[in-house]
Structure 1
C-alpha cells in the first residue's frame, strides 16, 4: 500500500487506527451533506475502513486518510477507487475535508498528488469525478485539476455532475506541472503520522 506526501499533507491508506479521526469527520452533517446527506455512525466508518483495506489488497489503490504534516491530525480523506458497473467502469478520484480545513487549498493539493499517482505511477488512461449539482466547491477542484465537464448523469439516486480527464489531458495540465513542483522527497516514507 502506497503512502503519498504533499507539502502539507501525508496521505496514508486507511487503517483501523484512523477510525476516530475518520468518524469525527464523517459524522459531521455538513461534511456529509453531498455524500449521502446523513452522518456516519462509528460502525459504518469501521465498515468503510474494512472495505477500503480489502480494495487496497485487491487493486493496489483505494482511499487515503489525509494527515496534516505539521500537527499530525487527520484532516480529510480521498481516493482513487474503482467505480463499479452499471454506473461506470472508470476509476474515480474523490476527496472530503474536515470542515475546519475548508477553503485552504488542501483538496486541490491532495487531488493533484492522487491524480499524479493514478496517471503517472499507475498509468491509468482516464479518471472521472462526480459531485452533486450544487457542490460548487468540489466542482472547482475538478476544474483546477484540469478535468473536463462530461455532463449530468445518474449518480446513485440523483443526478450528478461528472468530470473526466484522460492521461493526455493530464500530461498537458498545469496541475501536473504544479504536482511535480510540489514533489516531496521520501515519497513512501515508512514513518507514520500520529493519529489524532
Structure 2
C-alpha cells in the first residue's frame, strides 16, 4: 500500500489504529456538513476502514489518513477512488480536514500529491471531484488543482457540483509544477 509525503503531510492508507482520529474528525458536524450532515459513529468509521483496506488490496488505491508531519496528529483524509465501484473510470479525488486545520492550504497540498499519484502511478486518463453546491471551499481546492467545472449532476440523490481534470490538462497545470516542486527527499529514497 502506497504512502505519500508532502512537505507538511504524511498520507498513510487507512489502518485500524486510525479509528479514533478518523472518528473524531468524522463526528464533527461542521466537517460532515456537506458529507451527509450527520456525525459518524465509531462502528461506521470502523466499517469504512474495513472497506478501504479491502479496496487497497483489490485496486491498489483508496483512502489515506493525513498525518501532520510536525505533530504526528491525524488531521485529515483523502482519496483516489472509483466514482462508481463497478467501473474502473473515472477516478474520483476527494479530501476532508479537521476543522482546526481549515484555511492552511493542507487540502490543496494533499490534493496535488494525490493527483500526482493518480496520473503518474495509476496512469488515469482523468480525475473527477464532486462537492455539494454550497461547499465553496472544496470547489476552490478543485480549481487550484486545475480542475474545470463540468456542471451540476446527481450524486447520492442530491445535486452536486462536478469538476474534472484530464491527464493532458494536468501535464500543463501549474498545480502539477507545484506538486513536482514539493517532492520530498524521503519519498525518493
Could you state the TM-score of these two structures normalised by the residue count of structure 2?
0.97
Q: Which residue of 1 aligns with 2:183?
A: 183
Q: Which residue of 1 aligns with 2:168?
A: 168
Q: Matched residues in 1 for 2:30 and 2:188: separation?
A: 32
Asked if structure 1 preserves the Cα contact closer than 8 Å seen for 2:12 and 2:65, the reply is yes
Within-5 A mapping of 1:15-30: 15-30=15-30
Per-residue CA deviations over 1:146-196 (Å, capped at 9, x if unaligned) read: 00110000011110000000000000000000000000023278xxxxxxx
Q: Which residue of 2 aligns with 1:5?
A: 5
Q: CA RMSD in A?
A: 1.5
> 3-12 or 79-88, which moves further after superposition?
79-88
Q: Matched residues in 1 for 2:95 and 2:182: separation?
A: 19
Q: Which residue of 2 aligns with 1:76?
A: 76
Asked if structure 1 preserves the Cα contact closer than 8 Å seen for 2:128 and 2:165, the reply is yes
Within-5 A mapping of 1:133-144: 133-144=133-144
Q: Matched residues in 2 for 1:188 and 1:178: separation?
A: 17
Q: 1:173 to 1:157 in 2, by over 3 A?
A: same
Q: Which residue of 2 aligns with 1:127?
A: 127
Q: Specify every segment of 5 or more residues in structure 1 that has no aligned partner in the other structure, as ranges.
A: 190-196
Aligned-residue offset at 1:34: 0.3
Asked if structure 2 preserves the Cα contact closer than 8 Å seen for 1:87 and 1:155, the reply is no
Aligned-residue offset at 1:30: 0.4
Q: Which residue of 1 aligns with 2:104?
A: 104
Secondary structure class of the residue paired with 1:38: coil
